[in-house]
Each structure stands twice: as structure tokens, then as C-alpha cells.
Amino acid sequence: MSDCLFCRIARKEISANVVYEDESVLAFHDINPQAPVHVVIIPKAHTDTMNTAAPEVYPSLFAAVSTVAEKLGIRESGYRVVINCGANSGMMVSHLHLHLLGGKKLSNTLC
């Protein structure tokens, strides 16, 4: 999708503070972090939500979570992964993405 914010970041039309990239996934620091470590992990190919994603998308996304957590030093201390799906979830960009949060003890208010 040409006007999708995350597609534009994946195509390098908009700069981002990238922490991980492979052929199918891009991970970058969130511009409005909710924790000391807050990274957004996206598939490079556009898909709106979990409901429309091809099943083969998920292994690379979840592998990236562990890799990024290790790279940023939060793998052992713990982290949270959040996936919003649809307008009522608070999803702000219609492109499947995971939020990786950590770097401090997170509250239990969500889970």
C-alpha cells in the first residue's frame, strides 16, 4: 500500500531508528515510547491486521522479537509483546505490527 506509514518506512522513504532488518521484517524504535525499550516490528509486505495476514508471516515476526530483545539487552530480564488488531484495540496504523516493550518492570494493568 503506497500511502501506508509503515510501508513507507520499510521502503526507506521515511527514516526510522532501525534496530533489526532482514528480507521480510523491519524493527525500529517507536517515536512515542511507552517504556525505556519500545520497538515496533513489522512485516515489510503490507498486511492490515492479524486477520488478513498470511500464516507464513508469523514465524519471521516472532523470531525477530527474540533477536531484538537479545540485541537490546532485555531478553533475560523480560519484555512484553503487544499486537493490536482493529480500531477498537487502539491500532493507529493499519499495518500489522508488534510492540516490544521492556527495560523496566512493567505494570500488570493489561494482562
Angle at 71 between CA 12 and CA 26, to 5 degrees: 25
Q: Domain limits of the chain?
A: 5-102
pLDDT digits (tens, 9 = 90+) for 1-14: 679 999 999 999 99
Instruction: Give me the torsion for CA of 88, 89, 92, 98, rounded to 10°.
Output: -160
Contact 104, 71 (CB under 8 A): no
pLDDT digits (tens, 9 = 90+) for 53-108: 999 999 999 999 999 999 999 999 999 999 999 989 999 999 999 999 999 999 88
What is the rounded distance in angstroms from the CA atom of residue 97 to the CA atom of residue 103? 20
Q: pTM above the 0.85 mark?
A: yes
Non-local CB neighbours of 84 within 8 Å, separated by 6+ positions: 90, 91, 92, 99
As annotated, the active-site residues are: 97
Where residue 107 falls (left for φ over 0; alpha for ψ -120 to 50; beta otherwise) is beta
The CATH number of domain 5-102 is 3.40.50.720: no
What is the rounded distance in angstroms from the CA atom of residue 108 to the CA atom of residue 55? 30
